[in-house]
Structure 1
Amino acid sequence: MAQIVFGMAVPHSGMLGQAPEDWLNNGDRDRNNPELWYRNRTWTYEALEAERGAAFAPFLTLEERADRARRCRAALDEMAKAYKRAKVDVAIVLGKDQKEIWPGQSPSITIYTGEEVHNGPPQRPVYAPDHHVVHQAYPELATYLIRTFQEQNFDLNDLQQWPQNIWMESRQGYAPDYPVVPHAYSFVYHQIMGDDVPRHVPVLFNLFYPPTQPSMARCIEFGRVLREAIAAWPEDVRVAVIASGGLSHFVNDETFDRDVMEKLASYDYEGLAAIPNGYYQSGTSEVKIYSIVMMALQHTGAKMTLVDYVPCWRTEAGTGEGMGFMYWLAE
């Protein structure tokens, strides 16, 4: 029978591929964003700065940025080593599409049932190697999961073939002759798996775009069904469940992040579900799929290992990204 032996929650921020000298360039995007989500509501940058002051200016020095970039790189390296130690045969990779392949629709939950996943240019180097690679998906397991979830009152979207990545095309000015996978997945393949990707099932959640976002409670329930479905899968394989994204962004909230990590470590599902949905918006919405990993691993007795937590700032008002690196290895 299949066994879940490893879980991971890892950020996939583009800042992880930038030199610290360039981090502040992202601040212009934040200053021009009229809807910065922070603590259950949206703010303009001016209102956010008035609320928080310039309290984060001390963290914007090049020395601070370089130190945080170093810590992130070290944490990613440790995460990759932990994944390798788990000796995984099959992976379930949880992420989302950020209007990269679906500019005109936002399915709530989708499972990819096709055979191949493509990565490579024009994805940025932090997300992909410098050449086209093809990874094998697991259509038999994916189809089985859809049927199992339907029996448990989940209505899922069946993605049978990847659409062209139009975001990459518009960003880089050309389209390759293969459909580049969204960055939430390519980051895991490249940074965690070292482009040596096992058979796997990509699962896409609409985390960003109302009104079809699954709630935290629904994601927790998804984790329960996933755990039971994998336990009933007859193949003798070691399975990893990996969530790509998070923590708080694009307004860093260190208090929120530490509270979430404490709840994850203690398997506090009720606490996570009780947080108002307005906290789980914009990039912070990716925290929802962390709960799936937690639910999938709890029965193994695994304890969460927090490799590091690194708030990475890019404006005086505290915009940026909270980088949390954590994994669960079954006992």
Structure 2
Amino acid sequence: MAKIVFGMAVPHSGMLGQKPEDWLKNGDRDRNNPELWYKGKTYTYPELEALRGAAFEPFLTIEERTERAARCRAALDEMAAAYERAKVDVVIVLGKDQKEIWPDQSPCITVYTGEEVHNGPPQRPVYAPDHHVVHKAYPELATYLIKKFQDESFDLNDLMAWPQNVWMEKNQGYAPEYPVVPHAYSFVYHQIMGDEVPPHVPVLFNLFYPPTQPSMKRCIEFGRVLREAIEAWPEDVRVAVIASGGLSHFVNDEEFDRDVMGKLAAYDYEGLAAIPDTYYQSGTSEVKIYSIVMMALQQTGAEMTLVDYVPCWRTAAGTGEGMGFMYWQAPEAA
């Protein structure tokens, strides 16, 4: 029977691929964002600055940015090493599409049942190697999972072939001859797996776009069904569940992040579900899929390992991203 041995929650921010000298360039995008979500409400940048003042100005120096970038790099290296130590055979990769492949639709939960996943240019270097690569998916397991979820009253979208990545053409200047996978998945393949990707099942959640976002409670339930389905899969394989994204962004909220990480470490599902859904918006919505990793690993007796938490700011009002690097390793896999 299949055995879940490893779980991970890892940010996939583009800042992780930028030189610290370039971090502040992202602040221009924040200043022009009319809906910056912070503590359940939206703000324009001037409104956010009025609320928070210039409290984060001291963290914008090149020395601060360089130190935080180095910590992020070290944490990513340790996350990749932990994944390698787990010696997994199969991976469930949880992420989302950010209008990269679906500019005109937002399915709530989608399972990819195709055979191949493509990565490479023009995807940015932090997300992909400098050449086209093809990774094997796991259509048999993906189809099995859909059936198991249907039995538990989940209605899932079946993605049989990747659409073209229209974001690549619009923002990177040209469309490749192959369908580049969204960045949430590219990051895991490139940064965590070193482009050596085992058979895997990508699962896409609409975390960004109302009104079809799954709730935190629904994601927790998804984790339960996923765990039970994997444990019933007859193949003798070691399975990892990896969530790509989060923590708070595009307004960094360290108080929220530390509260969430505490709840994750304590397997506090009720606490996570009690946080108003207005806090799980914009990029911060990616926290929802962390609960799936929790649920998948809890019965193994795994404790959460927090490799590091690095708030990374890019404006004086505190826009930026909270980079949390954490994993769960089953004791018998240690």
- Band the TM-score falls in, shorter-chain normalisation: over 0.9
Partner SS, residue 195 of structure 1: coil
Partner SS, residue 241 of structure 2: strand
Once the two structures are overlaid, the 10-residue window that deviates more, 102-111 or 41-50, is 41-50
For 2:68, the equivalent position in structure 1 comes to 68
Distance 1:204 1:47 in 2: 33
**Alignment map for 1:76-95 (pairs within 5 Å):** 76-95=76-95
CA displacement 1:3-54 (0-9 Å, x = unmatched)? 0000000000000000000000000100111100000110111111111010
**Alignment map for 1:19-34 (pairs within 5 Å):** 19-34=19-34
For 2:14, the equivalent position in structure 1 comes to 14
For 2:170, the equivalent position in structure 1 comes to 170
For 1:267, the equivalent position in structure 2 comes to 267
Distance 1:116 1:215 in 2: 29
2:174 is aligned with what amino acid? Answer: Y
For 2:156, the equivalent position in structure 1 comes to 156
Q: Provide the aligned length of Structure 1 versus Structure 2.
A: 331
CA displacement 1:35-77 (0-9 Å, x = unmatched)? 0000011011111111101000000000000000000000000
1:195 is aligned with what amino acid? Answer: D
CA displacement 1:100-148 (0-9 Å, x = unmatched)? 0000000000000000000000000000000000000000000000000
For 1:195, the equivalent position in structure 2 comes to 195
Distance 1:169 1:303 in 2: 42
For 1:237, the equivalent position in structure 2 comes to 237
Distance 2:307 2:329 in 1: 13
Distance 1:21 1:182 in 2: 26
For 2:99, the equivalent position in structure 1 comes to 99
CA displacement 1:256-292 (0-9 Å, x = unmatched)? 0000000000000000000000000000000000000
Distance 1:324 1:246 in 2: 7
For 2:35, the equivalent position in structure 1 comes to 35
For 2:145, the equivalent position in structure 1 comes to 145
Query: Following TM superposition, where does structure 1 have runs of at least 4 consecutive aligned residues deviating by more than 4 angstroms?
Result: none
Question: Runs of 5+ in structure 2 lacking a partner?
Answer: none
**Alignment map for 1:195-214 (pairs within 5 Å):** 195-214=195-214
TM-score by length of 2: 0.99
Distance 2:25 2:177 in 1: 31
1:173 Cα deviation (Å)?
Answer: 1.3
For 2:120, the equivalent position in structure 1 comes to 120
1:314 Cα deviation (Å)?
Answer: 0.2
CA displacement 1:161-188 (0-9 Å, x = unmatched)? 0000000111111111100000000000
Distance 1:238 1:172 in 2: 37
Distance 1:103 1:171 in 2: 13
Distance 1:21 1:175 in 2: 29
Q: Does 1:59 align with 2:31?
A: no
For 1:130, the equivalent position in structure 2 comes to 130
Alignment RMSD, CA only?
0.3
TM-score by length of 1: 1.00
Partner SS, residue 154 of structure 1: coil
Q: Does 1:47 align with 2:34?
A: no
1:49 is aligned with what amino acid? Answer: E
CA displacement 1:292-311 (0-9 Å, x = unmatched)? 00000000000000000000
For 1:182, the equivalent position in structure 2 comes to 182
Distance 1:47 1:175 in 2: 38
Distance 1:3 1:116 in 2: 24
For 1:111, the equivalent position in structure 2 comes to 111
Partner SS, residue 250 of structure 2: coil
Distance 1:255 1:330 in 2: 29
Partner SS, residue 250 of structure 1: strand
For 2:285, the equivalent position in structure 1 comes to 285
**Alignment map for 1:307-322 (pairs within 5 Å):** 307-322=307-322
Distance 1:130 1:25 in 2: 24
Identity %: 86
1:10 is aligned with what amino acid? Answer: V
1:189 is aligned with what amino acid? Answer: Y
1:62 is aligned with what amino acid? Answer: I
Distance 1:81 1:93 in 2: 17
2:252 is aligned with what amino acid? Answer: N
Question: Runs of 5+ in structure 1 lacking a partner?
Answer: none
Partner SS, residue 134 of structure 1: strand
CA displacement 1:236-259 (0-9 Å, x = unmatched)? 000000000000000000000000
1:196 is aligned with what amino acid? Answer: E
